[in-house]
Copies of this chain bind each other. A is one copy, B any other.
Amino acid sequence: MTSGKILVAQGGGPTAVINQSLAGVVLEARRFRDCTRVYGAMHGVRGIIDENLVDLTRETSQNLEMVAATPSSALGSTRDKPDMAYCAEIFKVLRAHEIEQFYYIGGNDSSDTVRIVSEQAQQANYALRCIHIPKTIDNDLVGNDHTPGFPSAARFVAQAFAGANLDNAALPGVYVGVVMGRHAGFLTAAAALGKKFPDDGPHLIYLPERVFSLDQFLRDVKDVYARYGRCVVAVSEGIHDASGAAIATLLSQEVERDAHGNVQLSGTGALADLLCDEIKAKLGIKRVRGDTFGYLQRSFIGCVSDVDQREAREVGEKAVQFAMWGDRDGSVAIKRTGFYSVDYELQALQDVAGKTRVMEDEFISACGTDVTDAFRMYLRPLLGSGMPDAFRLRPAPVKKILKP
């Protein structure tokens, strides 16, 4: 390095542990004597072209640790997707500030941003080391055992369904919980980890990896309700019919899209309400309730996996080590090496950018509405320590006198 300046930014949807990765980059970079300044861009790549930069070298390590334990993106985020012209603006600013390393913490779309910036830098013959640091509650980055942010969101979803199941057992009826996940069902599938006893919910899980049929859904709910007198359902916001059309948008008149062309699915209770209305109308069940977990699941403060926190910190640290001691751009990936341990590799950017991992078939039961034990084994260690547990009274019926 010559200038010794590096820049870090955060993109896409926030997570509970994305600031751990930020702290990992800043604190690890400070250990390299060549590194003189760690800049942060406010609101992702948007902050670069706006030249809205902050000097993270001036932060105390104490406050960085406190920020690391705080959910959501401390530098702010963006949904901007840079094209050629946007990248030219990025270069102008990076060059003016003599930035030599660019770290972008983000998911699918952000990895594609890093790939474009990296290619543009090479074409412009600008010596810029570009590293993508993984983050997404969707767990849909290829080449990763899992992605930071997913375990904490999964912990929230598992705990939410554990509670919803207890509530539903107390006041029986049908409960539908809608979980985030556009193409990948990992987060919705995490609902299964809220289940303890054989008759616990979620009794049915609907994933975007399988075609959704409203008729089959109603038959499934009817069967479970007949069996247990109640039914708890986990539904991915991304469920779609055979044509690929999202069930959530079947009702909507206007469809909102972001810069990446993604249709807005979260932030509305429409899908849960649609499914509940169908159950009430077609099955004649009176007590039907729908909740949409929405934004609670990705930034809830105080429901975080310690494993997730530790790994999110490490991907930030490893990113700096790959940049300082390596000779190529790339994306940090988590590899599982034991039950349970992980190590980190640097993937080529083109191997991850713009690609979407979905749930492997081995994780989905043959019936399509449950997960397998392989998935439970995969997810359990990620949820971390101190998972709350649910207990029941043991049956001890009193002999009836009046109605024997």
Q: Which A residues contact B (CB, under 8 angstroms)?
A: 10, 13-14, 16, 39-40, 43, 50-56, 58-59, 63, 66-67, 69-79, 92-93, 96-97, 159-160, 162-164, 166-167, 169-171, 175, 194, 256, 266-270, 272-273, 276, 286, 288-296, 298-303, 387-398, 400-403
Task: Quickly give the copy total for this chain.
Answer: 2
A393 x B159 contact (CB < 8 A): no
Is there contact, CB below 8 Å, between A294 and B289? yes
6 A–B contacts, CB within 8 A, in A order:
A74-B393, A159-B303, A163-B295, A268-B273, A289-B295, A292-B294
Q: Do B268 and A392 touch (CB < 8 A)?
A: no
Alpha-carbon distance A159/B72, docked complex (angstroms): 13
A160's contact among B69, B79, B289, B300, by CB below 8 Å, is which?
B300
Assuming the contacts A391-B69, A398-B97, asked whether A291 and B294 have C-beta atoms less than 8 A apart, the reply is yes
**Beta-carbon contact of B39 and A398 below 8 Å:** yes
Task: Give 9 closest A-B pairs by Cβ, nearest first.
Answer: A269-B269, A267-B289, A72-B166, A291-B294, A66-B391, A163-B299, A302-B388, A53-B398, A73-B170
Complex-state Cα separation, A299 to B77, whole angstroms: 32
Known A-B contacts A59-B396, A396-B56; A51 and B402 likewise in contact (beta carbons under 8 Å):
yes
Q: Is the CB of A51 within 8 A of B401?
A: yes
Q: Which B residue sits closest to A13, measured CB to CB?
A: B171
Knowing A163-B300, A393-B63 touch, does A269 contact B292 (C-beta < 8 A)? yes
